[in-house]
Chain A
Amino acid sequence: MTSATPITDEDLVAYLDGALLPARREAVDAALAHDPAMREQLAALRIDVPAIRTAFDAHAATAPLDRLQRVLAEAPEPRRSRMPGSWLAIAASLVIGVALGQAPSYLFPREHAPDWRTAVADYQVLYTTATLASLHQSTAALNGNAAEVSASLGRPISFAVLASGGLDFKRAQILTFNGQPLAQYAYLDAAGAPIAFCATRTGEPDRPVQTTTLRGLTEAHWSRDGYGFMVIGGHNPDEIRKLADELQRSA
């Protein structure tokens, strides 16, 4: 059966890489022994693989290690531990709290950001005017871009709404957090400060707009229909609040 299957370039590559199964390898050996054209075909696929490895190993040594090591060193620890032990501790104290008729204080956190908002904030602090200033998409392209992202998010947020806040709407992109799509709509304000409007499915109950500070940035967030929303960035807390209020009414 193997002898009936024509030998392809892919077979020859696997032959050169020592990745063929023994039966197929024998078939290639047999063909090479009898067929000069096959030998030429093989010769045309031979390359200097060790040199590629050496060249790229030398290239890896030119990586900007100082900068990347600094990023690692300065990246914040996640705010909430994912260790199962902590959940057990929380569950246990919850039981005790309920048994004693007390409301545990952490059920009504003063300002405990869910992880997704902290992650967005960590990302947003890296944005600068130049990150977005060079993006010049046509209205039609932005419209399509926003529609694609909304479709991935599973909640329609119309372009008209996104573009109505008086800011320069630059880009929509889909990210992911804990396996859930996270939509990010990026803006520049009149002063050139980057602002992001983000949304993801959280399953949380509806909540009105609240304003806070995350990673040094003004942030406003709310929940509706099982989705969490946030607006973050800029230099003017009033602007963030105003944009959040507008989006909350229509998005």
Chain B
Amino acid sequence: MSDHAGVRNGLSELLPRLWRFCHVLTGDRSTADDLAQSACLRALERAGQFQPGTRLDQWVFRIAQSVWFNQRRAEKVRRGFGIVPAEEAGLATGAADAEANIYLAQVLSSVMGLPEAQRVTVLLVYVEGFSYQEAADMLDIPIGTVMSRLAAARGRLSCLRDGGRSAGVAKSA
């Protein structure tokens, strides 16, 4: 199998996670659609540079990040800090466990409401399960910065304190 076909197949499986990463990076759904698309094309163009045996997800996330930074630097556009409405997240749509869905929508909105650097770090470490060191490598930052971003994010996510769940949901429901 050629490099190109291998990367294409791997990308196909990664799409939901790649798009999610793009959404967390950009803070905006339609910008994320475009960024995920550009990152796919860029990854395919560079398929020959991918080292088989290394992790495709880390490689592709880095490409998405570099496309985004270049684009934003050039356009001088400051996006993000946006809150994702619960209905847009597709979580609060009258499922059986409506209360749990309201809570999860609140979780999503809270994390998306963090500053970009913090929410990306939260995604990589707490959702994607990368180690501090792996996240530091992917974001090109020292490991201490990963930890301080996580500390700042945890400090801001007061609605997600242990025990906050019942209180928050009781108010919303």
Give residues in A with beta carbon < 8 Å to B.
8-10, 12-14, 16-17, 19, 43-49, 51-65, 67-69, 71-72, 75, 77-78, 81-83, 119, 122-123, 126, 135, 137, 141, 145, 149, 171-178
Contacts and interface: CB of A to CB of B under 8 A. Distances in A.
Nearest to A141: B76
Given A55-B105, A75-B44, 15 more contacts: A12-B151, A45-B151, A47-B157, A52-B111, A52-B122, A53-B126, A55-B89, A56-B111, A58-B91, A60-B20, A71-B37, A82-B3, A83-B3, A126-B41, A173-B73
B24 to A, nearest CB: 8
A152 B42 CA distance: 20
B8 A72 contact: yes
B85 interface: no
A16 B126 CA distance: 12
B83 to A, nearest CB: 13
Interface of B: 2-4, 8, 11-12, 15-20, 23, 33, 36-38, 40-41, 44-49, 66, 70-71, 73-76, 89-91, 103-105, 107-108, 111, 122-123, 125-127, 131-132, 144, 147-148, 150-151, 154-155, 157-158, 160-162, 164-165
A161 B154 CA distance: 50
A165 B158 CA distance: 55
Contact of A145 (B15, B18, B74, B162): B74
Contact of B154 (A47, A60, A68, A69): A47
A49 B160 CA distance: 8
18 contacts: A9-B151, A13-B151, A17-B150, A45-B151, A48-B160, A48-B161, A51-B165, A52-B160, A53-B127, A56-B127, A58-B104, A59-B89, A63-B16, A65-B15, A65-B16, A68-B15, A68-B37, A78-B44
B37 A63 contact: no
Nearest to A173: B74
B73 to A, nearest CB: 7
B168 to A, nearest CB: 10
Contacts of A64: 19, 33
Nearest to A57: B127
Contact of B48 (A47, A65, A82, A174): A82
Contacts of A13: 147, 150-151, 154
Given A51-B107, A51-B165, A64-B33, A72 B47 contact: no
A175 B40 CA distance: 15
Contacts of B126: 49, 52-53
Contact of A60 (B16, B49, B66): B16
B161 A46 contact: yes
